[in-house]
Structure 1
Amino acid sequence: MSDTLTIVTWNINSIRARIDLFGMMTKKLRPDVVLLQETRVTDGSFPLKTMHRRGFKHTALNGRGGHHGVAILSKVPLDDVRIDIIGGIDQSRHVSAVVDWGGPARLHSLYVPSGGDEPDVETNEKFRQKLEFVDGMLEWGQSAVGERAIVAGDFNIAPYPSDVWSHRQLLDVISHTPAETDRLENVRASQGWVDVVRRDRPEPQEVYTWWSYRNKTWPGSNRGRRLDHIWASPSLADSVREIDVLREARGWEKASDHVPVVARIER
């Protein structure tokens, strides 16, 4: 048995529409556990038979269709599945489960609201909900960080200047406004979460995980953002190694606008 657990987080932007791309990703990365966001299916419609055939026999689902839904698919047993409602936003945005890897470790798949288009809480209900969700992470995370844990997923926030193609031009664009970035960094820093991607690829190195469908010249212009994250609790962070971003997945036919992010956990 391997001494390394390979974890992938990916906003797949519809599991049914991209079931073949899921297969391409697993052949490329050979993950043991996959954390998905924006599955866009109810739990009863999730393609479990296909996942079982690919070796992912253990699952934790929280789906309702639309632009929501999260999942954990695993080749190793999952225990103590939980679904949390964060910030009072009940939209199938969280699921977690425990794996036994050098001791129990809880894996969270998290999908923060996108926030719509206008960064004004008075005129944009979606943006107000997004800020409420991130504020809710403060209380929620106090408990989560106390375990050996990974929180990963589409946070829909690019917190640092080199997480976006232009810090100056995007300060008023949702995902990089100070109202979002300051809140998210407060959650991370105040609780002690380790952003393992930035630990291993520190500023000012550019790291992107999302490229808009509106960017028709991708990858030439490379106008990306780092919206997908992997945080580790202090008790687990030293065991997290080999961070990678599967950038090539953005160029696959009928790709998601997000790409998989990989971390490997040593026993």
Structure 2
Amino acid sequence: MDIKIATWNINSVRLRINLVERLIAEESPDVLCLQEIKCINDAFPLKALKAAGYEHIAVHGQKGYHGVATLSRIPFKKVDSMNFCEKGDCRHLATDLDMPGGMRVHNFYVPAGGDEPDPEINPKFAHKLAFVREMTRLYDGHRTKSQNRMVLVGDLNIAPLEHDVWSHKQLLKVVSHTPVEVALMNELIASHDWVDVMRRFVPDNEKLYSWWSYRAKDWLAADRGRRLDHIWVTPALADTPVSMTVRKDARGWERASDHAPVVATLRL
């Protein structure tokens, strides 16, 4: 069977519900993971998304900030979330899909980290580093369970490779591509031998972005992007990805998010 999984930092689901509906109509993902939904659970547009075919919806939201949601056509066996850094922020959901062989989908929204890449003077950056370290410790405990079928998606707010940013040299001191962040992400990847699905389809020496700043007058012409959104799988699923696309065109939709959806299909 094929399962299509999409991830998108929507930057307010209520403001952009029409864009979510458009993506669903065009891509028809089996599982859609949203980040930065910016609403409490009771304000999430359940009715519209159930009408679009998603009977199984897990929401972990808070008023005005952060928040993640996982929509699925496949029933959930279990839903849980982790409270990272004891902040109480709604930044993670884990859903176990009720399907042959099972699959756990982790949906993450990692802190952006502010503007100053110094944890001594920027508590937002310190929080980001601590958050990624906690993620690593969580998965390090599963090191011996390499056959677990897990997918990790979301806005991880780190562009780890040289060609994940428009200028490696100019962004080395810019939050999201600093050496300390990249090193921590590499430790996280090694903690469970995560497989980078996006780079299975686009070689490391080619540019690959999923985010373009609102600050650019003409984001498309400038094309100064970063790959902040990711889809990873565990070794047990390493041979299953058959396609991947970044819907760059969605960045140009009216009142768009600054992130583009990333869509991958796994053949199980």
Q: Same fold (TM over 0.5)?
A: yes
Q: Name 2:196's counterpart in structure 1.
A: 195
Displacement after TM superposition at 1:12 (Å): 0.3
Q: Pick from 10, 15, 29 the counterpart of residue 12 of structure 1.
A: 10
Q: Name 1:162's counterpart in structure 2.
A: 163
Q: Pick from 121, 125, 128 the counterpart of residue 126 of structure 2.
A: 128
Structure 2 counterpart of 1:153, one-letter code: G
Question: For residues 159 and 90 of structure 1, what CA distance do their matches in structure 2 show?
Answer: 27
For the residue of structure 2 that corresponds to 1:69, the secondary structure is: strand
Judged with a 3 Å threshold, the aligned counterparts in structure 2 of structure 1 residues 89 and 200 are, in CA distance, closer, same or farther, namely farther
Structure 2 counterpart of 1:139, one-letter code: R
Contact map agreement 1:87 1:137 (CA 8 A) in 2: no
Displacement after TM superposition at 1:212 (Å): 0.2
2:244 matches 1:246 = no
Q: Name 1:86's counterpart in structure 2.
A: 84
**Over the residues paired in the alignment, what is the CA RMSD in angstroms?**
1.2
2:172 matches 1:174 = no
Question: For residues 100 and 34 of structure 1, what CA distance do their matches in structure 2 show?
Answer: 16
Q: Name 2:215's counterpart in structure 1.
A: 214
Displacement after TM superposition at 1:216 (Å): 1.2
Question: For residues 84 and 100 of structure 1, what CA distance do their matches in structure 2 show?
Answer: 21
Deviations 1:206-246 (A, max 9, x none): 11000000011120110000000001011112112201110
Structure 1 counterpart of 2:72, one-letter code: S
Could you state the TM-score of these two structures normalised by the residue count of structure 1? 0.96
Instruction: Indicate the larger mover: 79-88 or 232-241.
Output: 79-88
Q: Structure 2: where are the runs of 5+ without partners?
A: none
Identity across matched positions, percent: 46
Question: For residues 98 and 182 of structure 1, what CA distance do their matches in structure 2 show?
Answer: 29
Deviations 1:132-166 (A, max 9, x none): 00111111123467321000000000000000000
Question: For residues 34 and 246 of structure 2, what CA distance do their matches in structure 1 show?
Answer: 15
How many residue pairs get matched?
A: 265
Question: For residues 81 and 186 of structure 2, what CA distance do their matches in structure 1 show?
Answer: 24
Contact map agreement 1:86 1:140 (CA 8 A) in 2: no
Q: Pick from 59, 62, 67 the counterpart of residue 61 of structure 1.
A: 59
